[in-house]
Amino acid sequence: MGQSAEALPPGLDALKPMQQAMESMGKSLGSTLTSMAGLSVPPDALKDIQQDYMKQATELWNRSLEKPEQIKAGDRRFDAPEWGSSPVNAFMASMYLLNARTLQKLADNLQGDAKARQRVRFAVQQWADAASPSNFLAFNPEALKKAVDTKGESLQQGLQHLMNDLRQGHMSQTDESVFEVGKNVATTAGTVVFENPYFQLIEYAPLTPQVHEVPFLFVPPCINKYYILDLQPDNSVVRYLLSQGHRVFMISWVNPDDSLALSTWDDYIEQGVMKAIDVTLDVAGTDKANMLGFCVGGTMLACALSTLAAQGKKPAASLTLLTSFLDFSDTGIMDVFVDEAMVRMREMTMGPTSPQGGGLMKGTDLAATFSFLRPNDLVWNYVVGNYLKGEMPPAFDLLYWNSDSTNLPGPFYTWYLRNTYLENKLREPNAVKVCGVPLDLRRLDMPTFIYGSREDHIVPWGGAYESTQIVQGPKTFVLGASGHIAGVINPPEKKKRSYWTSGSLARGLPATAKEWMATAQEHPGSWWPVWAEWLGKQAGAKVPAPKQPGNKRHQPIEAAPGRYVLRKA
């Protein structure tokens, strides 16, 4: 593999083990990759990577001997003064980063099956992030200094945090003791006016003397709890809509237990989304509602509305899709996890054809999968802070919600995996049946507002944009800054982030996200007012706000947030 260890410049014998390790790593990786779907790194690329590695390693070694104060890791994991105060620590951090970059270059230069290459790149990144010296007490000078300064108290606290996290079944990403659902999150006043085994329907109390005559229904993802849309008063989408004069209803999905372990996708569409639509229209006394689906809630809502359209029913005055897939061609890093073997294994263990006819996909397993999509931010950051330094993470409502995981019924989950991520059937007219009706999403001909987040790692914005090529009615696309959740929860008063719109709207949306972005303009602040202006045009005239929740057929059951959202996984 390129030059041998004997070819090192004179005086740098200390680098021999490093180069030999690099040669061994290259040979080992090469033989391993050859056995994995025929993957290989071209010899010329391999030689260039090795030579570049040795050049940078030599420069780093010389700098550590001659001007150690100039060694800067340039990574926020090593920003603490303790990493730069010692040449040994600075060299170790810089050497780790060089090794990690080199491994990633090897993975990036693979040739062979595209999915196998993607999996190797993902595995390499996971290994590199896990191997950071900052993650180990013996190599983390910041954690060691704190242990000395506190006379071991930080280590004792870290052990207590570890034991507490083991008991609760997940790693603490925030100080969960600060928050309580219904007390300081999910606090918007409302009433549960309907419930069945799948969900409760909340009707929120109006905040204005008059409301739009067309009600509004939220369909949140059943993979998480609804109150991401109603965190605290200053960042609540629900409260914002109420302040705009809308009459708001919300699905609060139950956190499934064994009683729903056999429930299917059709059950959630028919007994969940469709039933919520029926009750919303009945309580509001209208034949149409504006509707929003968030993430998988958008996929479910689109399926429900398309199925209803096939039955001659069109209850949606408008449709809003927030970070949702209808076309699963571009699922980003999530594609790493899904193949025929994985889906078949899930079907055999918890699908409708499994020996027990179903089962539960545990919320803790789903949460761990999502966290490892961004391991440095959502895993190792807390390993270091919680356990090595004995610190309690700061209180953050969004991360509290993120840790409040939910289960999924196995038959529902396996149908979703196979027909969306694996086979991408929803975009194909009549390729799959929902509630016994061939699904054709081209029946979605209502005005549609589609939102994507630019840094979304769960629903890449290009994948969200593909919905514009499926729905048939008038459509608007807006791109927001930040990620899957932070991009959505961006109240105007905070004056944070930015969003993009395109002048191409007047001419119709282009075929690809890249073409759309070429004509887009960036605007400071929140995208919410753009959506609110669009939604106001779909919501009809103003009428007196209702004085009481529910109606004769749907009497108040309990105050929001209701019992279902309190059930823990």
* CB of 232 closer than 8 Å to CB of 212: no
**Phi/psi of residue 168, nearest 5 degrees:** -85, -10
- Alpha-carbon gap, residue 478 to 157, rounded angstroms: 45
- Alpha-carbon gap, residue 359 to 369, rounded angstroms: 19
CB neighbour burial string for 149-171, b if at least 16 within 10 angstroms, e if fewer: eeeeebbebbeebbeeeeeeebb
**Phi/psi of residue 26, nearest 5 degrees:** -65, -45
435 is catalytic: no
Rounded to 5 degrees, what angle do the CA atoms 437, 440, 444 make? 115
* Side-chain half-sphere exposure of 117, counting CA atoms within 13 A: 14
Q: Among the options 222, 295, 303, 435, which is catalytic?
A: 295
Tokens of 224: 């998480």
- Alpha-carbon gap, residue 106 to 89, rounded angstroms: 26
**Phi/psi of residue 55, nearest 5 degrees:** -65, -50
Number of helical (H) and strand (E) elements in the chain, helices listed first: 20, 17
DSSP bridge pairs for 199:
253
Residues 6+ apart with CB under 8 A from 70: 63
Residue 14 burial class via C-beta count within 10 angstroms: exposed 0-12, middle 13-18, buried 19 and up:
exposed
- Alpha-carbon gap, residue 297 to 11, rounded angstroms: 63
Best CA proximity match to 145, nearest among 413, 389, 493, 487? 389
Tokens of 426: 């929803």
Active site residues per annotation: 295
